Amino acid sequence: MEYAIETFNLKKYFGDIHAVDGIDLKIPKGYLYGVLGPNGAGKTTTIRMLSTILYPTDGEATVLGFNLRKEASEIRKRIGVCPQELVIYPRLTARENIHLIAQMHGIIKKDYKERTDDLLGRMNLLDRADSLSKTYSGGMKRRLNVLMAVIHEPELIFFDEPTAGLDPQSRRVVWDFIKEFQERDSTIILTTHNMEEADDLSDELLIFDYGKIIAKGTPSELKGKLGEGDIIEFKISNPEKRDEVIELATKLDFVRWGKSVGKRRILLNALDGLRRISDIMDVVKVEMKDLSVRENTLEDVFIDLTGRRLRD
Ligand code: ATP
């Protein structure tokens, strides 16, 4: 198998902060890897190292077959990076912004003119393509930011939270856009805090926590590890009852496991959860506040691994 990215014990320390603390990765060409993890877990630092913006503290990596430390300029030509922060020039139009980047990549005018219109159309930006980008809405700026990462048709694209702060409609436009690259066999690394996005788009997922990769697999493999059954989530008023409630509930034969998140929140995994809630209530004898029942999500996978929520 050909790998777009291989890392061997890759590390980045900032003084005492172990932002990335030894990661070993093998990302096959043509795959979309979703990267999940709480704030500060090391996702952006990893992307910045792999896209040659930051020099690693230790460890080795190859990107598209090139050595990260010795062949950074070869890597740079072949990758696209859509960073979390906007990198558009507010006093230029969308079209001018994209042309500028295309020229920086040495693409000939005839090629980039056609590509620019095609890209602007796919992101619903064509009708405003000649207005200054400082007049755009937040969502339009973000969509332009995404386009600027791909004008040179990179083999490997890093999208760092490309849909952060977008409304559902714009989010869907960006998802469809990313899916098109997936179909063209580009390799994509996508960091996100959106579980639906991670679940829907990723071929494989990496979950980061404290600078390490704590889980990897397809979304269904990861969710499958939690077993069958529904997640029943609720809060209790008295935190002192928390462990007792979990103990009583997990004695029921249809409750597979119970976990606490913080002092008051409890998660139970139960077969046929929706219909069995009243049976659980009879046994635990506490009021269940903010009660919800759902299928396993990637958030539950993270809770299972760490006892915390992805966004606390
Ligand atoms: P988020 O989801 O908030 O984007 P993240 O997983 O991308 O988080 P990073 O931005 O990689 O996390 O940060 C990892 C850790 O490294 C954090 O503790 C952060 O404060 C620290 N860090 C990142 N860049 C620097 C820097 N230039 N100098 C010092 N510390 C840094």
Decide if 262 contacts 211 (C-beta within 8 A): no
For residue 126, the model assigns a pLDDT of: 95
Which of the listed residues 11, 39, 160, 190 should we mutate to test ligand 1's pocket, taking the one with most ligand atoms within 8 A of CB? Answer: 39
Q: Is the CB of 39 under 6 A from ligand 1?
A: yes
Residue 35 contacts by C-beta under 8 Å, 6 or more apart in sequence? 43, 46, 47, 189, 190, 191, 192, 205, 206, 208
Residue 229 — left, alpha, or beta (φ > 0 → left; ψ -120 to 50 → alpha)? left
Average pLDDT (80-100) is 94
User: Average pLDDT, whole number, for the chain?
Assistant: 92
Q: Which atom of ligand 1 is nearest to the CA of 208?
A: 6
Sign of the four-CA dihedral 271, 274, 278, 283: positive
The verdict on residue 305 lying in a domain is no
**pTM for this structure?**
0.87
Q: Is the CB of 45 under 6 A from ligand 1?
A: yes
**Same-domain pairing of 19 and 40:** yes
Q: Give tens-digit pLDDT for 261-291.
A: 889 999 999 988 888 888 999 988 888 899 9
- DSSP assignment of 157-187 equals EEEESTTTT--HHHHHHHHHHHHHHHHTT-E
The verdict on residue 301 lying in a domain is no
CA distances from 259 to 237, 247, 310 (A): 16, 10, 15
The percentage of residues in the chain with a pLDDT greater than 70, rounded to a whole number, is 99
CATH of the domain at 240: 3.30.70.980
Residue nearest to atom 3 of ligand 1 (CA): 39
The verdict on residue 164 lying in a domain is yes
For residue 311, the model assigns a pLDDT of: 67
The verdict on residue 303 lying in a domain is no
Domain that holds residue 193: 3-223
3-state helix, strand, coil in the chain (%, to 5): 40, 30, 35
The verdict on residue 150 lying in a domain is yes
Q: Give tens-digit pLDDT for 209-249.
A: 999 999 999 998 998 887 778 899 999 999 999 999 999 99
Q: Which atom of ligand 1 is nearest to the CA of 47?
A: 11
Q: Is the CB of 237 under 6 A from ligand 1?
A: no
For residue 297, the model assigns a pLDDT of: 86
Q: Give tens-digit pLDDT for 174-203.
A: 999 999 988 888 999 999 988 889 999 999
